[in-house]
Amino acid sequence: MQLYNKLSAKEREALIDEAGEDRLTLSFYAYAKIGNPHLFRNHLFIAWDQMDVLGRIYVAHEGINAQLSVPATRFEEFKEFIDNIYFLEGVRLNIAIEHDAKAFLKLKVKVRKKIVADGLNDATFDVTNKGVHVDALKFNELISDPNTVLVDMRNHYESEIGHFQGAITPDVDTFRDSLPIIENDLKEHKEDKNLVMYCTGGIRCEKASAYYKHKGFKNVYQLEGGIIEYARQVENQKLENKFIGKNFVFDHRRAEQISEEVIAHCHQCGKPCDKHVNCANEACHLLFIQCEECAEKMNNCCSKDCMEIAALPYEEQKALRKGKGNSNKIFKKGRSEVLKYKS
């Protein structure tokens, strides 16, 4: 019985090319009490591996957080499977507005302590006492109200390439960093303002809205389905789009185009650009914004030092990495002293 992925990314990529089939990129989450996350994890892997599902899934005692790629021809089979899991029946699926057959190249189902690393002690507040969920139409109304404070619950490298007009975008590296900062900055408006929050697909706002209600905020709202569902509703209902730029996503696509505006800049030359890349030096792998001209000039690297290493034969690069831990640049997305226009 196979319980783990056995194909490399390159092998899987070749199979996808050979199949030539459309795939759907989607995500979903659910908070639920899972008694044995390891058993549930194995159940998911066995079933989804047989359906040729790929993606990154986190399972914990508190629920599931899934980002997936499903063959279009097997979507109904996939939907039937999750509907037969009692706490996933009818769960909202955030289907991407832009699909890429190679959004994911492996199936990874991992057991974690939490499905989102929020740093919160759930025993200290009622996690079920969440904010009011609003659709795109109501969201647009709320954020047009001068009595509303709109907060982006994502990280700096996400909001850098796209966000809602007028939103507060905390300059943070992680979700857990943003929670106390936002609370402190808005502490004078706990009773007199609408606190409206949003994130990519909604999961970060689920816990955050309950946390802020616990902290005394009276009027807390969250965008149902996040930016992904907002973009879909705006298109289907012909609503005014108040999101500018791209929506950062955590797969090989890196982003979805929501509007035509380019609001970010190349981290190396400062020209308008909103394309995230990873440094070609695998020992670095820094995520940063790089325009095509700089990519050619820098050989897809973030610095001259990385260019020199990336130019070495692959076996020499491996030898240099041997015995060393991952560079902390991997975790400091979009921040480095070598980037002239972002540090």
Q: What are the residue numbers of the active site?
A: 199
- How far is it, in rounded angstroms, from Cα 225 to Cα 205? 10
Cα of first residue to Cα of last residue in the chain, in angstroms, is: 47
What are the start-end ranges of the H helices in 247-287? none
Phi, psi (rounded to 5 degrees) for 272: -55, 125
d(CA 302, CA 110): 31
Per-residue tokens: 96: 């991407």
Phi, psi (deg, nearest 5) at residue 241: -90, 115
Nearest by Cα to 41 from 26, 51, 27, 56: 56
Q: Could you tell me whether strands 255-257 and 287-289 are parallel, antiparallel, or unpaired per DSSP bridges? A: unpaired
Look up tokens 């189902």; give the residue.
Answer: 109
Strands 54-60 and 63-71: antiparallel
